[in-house]
Amino acid sequence: MDFFFFVLLEMILPLLLRRSSSIQRLSIHLRDDLGHHKSRILSFSPPLASVTHGLINSRRILTPFVHPLRRFMSQGSGTIDNHTNLMTEAFIPTGDIHKESSSSSSSSSSSSSSSHSTSTSNYLGYWLLGTAGMVFAMVSLGGITRLTRSGLSIVEWRPEGEKLPQTDEEWRVEFEKYKSFPEYKRVNSRMSLDEFKPIYFMEWAHRMWGRALGVVFGVPLVVFIVRGMIPQGFTLRLAGLFLLGGGQGAIGWWMVKSGLEHERFEGAENSHVRVSVSPYRLATHLSMAFSLYSLLLWNAWDMFLLSAKERQSLITFAESSVVSRLRPFVLGSAGVIATTVFSGAFVAGNDAGHAYNDWPLFAGQIVPEDIWIPSLGLRNFFENTACVQFVHRNLAYSSLASVALLHTVCARQGGLNKFPITVQRGIIFMSVLVTFQASLGIVTLMLYVPVELGALHQAGSLALWTSALYTVHSIVRVRRGLPLAPM
């Protein structure tokens, strides 16, 4: 990492030195005229504060790596930092300027520490966003693995990972292992070695992507902790996320093992020759993936809140009051969407997408005939194909209705433009994605779940949940004195 900072220094050093000289002369001029022109300074201080913060951040990051530059750049830093504190008063409502005036005389070391933590929280936020992006790809890849029926092709699990076979002999060894398990015996008994290779590779790629994800998250986390770069209150959160990611790998194997052992459940599909994993374990695995993804995003947005705190205006009381009336509707809509996504895991686990492939009816009926099997009781909601698909469809309709209700509530409050920009974006994204996802689900069902559309539908559910989670984060973080996270 030091190498990359040094390269960056070589590229921006000439510009940085010129900026340093200009800002230092300007700060001296402002100090001399401060007594007579305070109001004038405050009127144009926001843009000047922005430039000054840029200089301070650059200097504080680069000096630890180039010792000779530290002495030169530190000249006049007290003057710059003092004026920076004065300028940031413009971001505080007028009634609070006198209340906060004591903070403008804080020491230069305190200012530089704040600037450094601000830039660090940005880096950490983007790192968490990148990791969340890898989880998104992982979930999408898992959907393709399930739809191509590749998940049971590797019959062993090693925490360190499996080597991809290279020679014909190695491939034959893996194929012989697969032949001894129920899926080959009952479903794929005519499969050749060449047909086995693609499904093996798909499952191998899914597993190795998960291990790569652990490295991408775990190694930087250790570095950040050792260097003291984690903001207060986040260390335990991030360590918990690492443990959750490791547990997800174990849950994945627990799920696969149910298919290898062919642990059948009692229900409507008992006579079917299909060999699959337990729908309960599949739902657990998918729900854990969604939870990990959600926590990564939430903490990333919290990191951006830290960096935005000094440069964003405080939300007004009027905005906070308007948002508070919308909050229960946003939380309710997000809850309906989350329930719909969870029910989709049981649709996948029961292979319910391959039944009742007409719409809007179920084999020509409003309610499917086999929707309730008395012997199953409440397990109908999780094991009965007809009931599972009926519930999922109606939850999808409920998701559409809940987002439409959000727009109705916003209209009664004066329209979307009455809300903070992040809340506006979140609701708009929810509206677009819930419509797209519902339409895609109908098309996927009627076309008998092609792999491409099925995988896109699973990725779409995660995209829809992302928009709902972003809206929730924005709505619950709106407090007087607490800025909103950028998007």
**pLDDT-derived band at 93, boundaries 50, 70, 90:** very low
- Contact between 25 and 76 (Cβ < 8 Å): no
- Contact between 83 and 51 (Cβ < 8 Å): no
Q: What is the percent of the chain where pLDDT is above 70?
A: 68
- Rounded to the nearest 10°, the torsion over CA 418, 89, 80, 4 is -30
Peptide bond into 93 cis (omega under 30): no
């790629």: which residue's tokens?
205
**pLDDT-derived band at 477, boundaries 50, 70, 90:** confident
- Contact between 487 and 422 (Cβ < 8 Å): yes
Per-residue model confidence (pLDDT) at position 320? 66
Cα(177)–Cα(70) distance, integer angstroms: 63
Beta bridge partners of 473: none
* Per-chain mean pLDDT for the chain: 77
pLDDT at 112 over 70: no
Cα angle 346, 426, 217 (rounded to 5 degrees) comes to 65
Q: Give the other-Cβ count within 10 Å of 116's Cβ.
A: 16
Per-residue model confidence (pLDDT) at position 421? 86
Q: Mind listing the pLDDT tens digit for each residue in 387-444?
A: 999 999 999 999 999 999 999 999 988 888 888 888 899 999 999 999 999 999 999 9
pLDDT greater at residue 306 or residue 247 = 247
SS3 365: strand
CA 126 to chain centre: 11
Cα(384)–Cα(361) distance, integer angstroms: 17
pLDDT at 191 over 70: yes
- Contact between 285 and 253 (Cβ < 8 Å): no
Least confident of 35-44, 184-193, 260-269, 275-284: 35-44
Per-residue model confidence (pLDDT) at position 394? 98
**pLDDT-derived band at 308, boundaries 50, 70, 90:** low
pLDDT at 304 over 50: yes
Full DSSP string of 79-118: HHHHHHHHHGGGGS-GGGTTTTGGGGG--HHHHHHHHHHH
- Rounded to the nearest 10°, the torsion over CA 339, 360, 277, 159 is -50
Cα(118)–Cα(113) distance, integer angstroms: 9
Cα(99)–Cα(314) distance, integer angstroms: 15
> What average pLDDT score do residues 31-45 get?
41
Tell me which DSSP letter residue 479 carries. Answer: B
Any idea how long the chain is? 487
- Contact between 315 and 482 (Cβ < 8 Å): yes
Cα dihedral sign, 245-246-251-253: positive
Q: Mind listing the pLDDT tens digit for each residue in 237-275?
A: 999 999 999 999 999 999 999 998 864 444 434 444 567
Q: What count of Cα atoms within 13 Å lies in the side-chain half-sphere of residue 154? A: 24
Q: What count of Cα atoms within 13 Å lies in the side-chain half-sphere of residue 487? A: 17
Cα(245)–Cα(257) distance, integer angstroms: 19
> What average pLDDT score do residues 169-183 get?
94
Least confident of 20-34, 119-133, 236-250: 20-34
**pLDDT-derived band at 364, boundaries 50, 70, 90:** very high
Cα angle 60, 62, 65 (rounded to 5 degrees) comes to 120
Per-residue model confidence (pLDDT) at position 301? 93
């405080």: which residue's tokens?
314
> What average pLDDT score do residues 276-301 get?
95
Beta bridge partners of 362: 365
Peptide bond into 328 cis (omega under 30): no
Question: Nearest to residue 285, comparing CAs of 244, 252, 256, 242?
Answer: 252
Per-residue model confidence (pLDDT) at position 47? 37
Q: Mind listing the pLDDT tens digit for each residue in 368-400?
A: 999 999 999 999 999 999 999 999 999 999 999
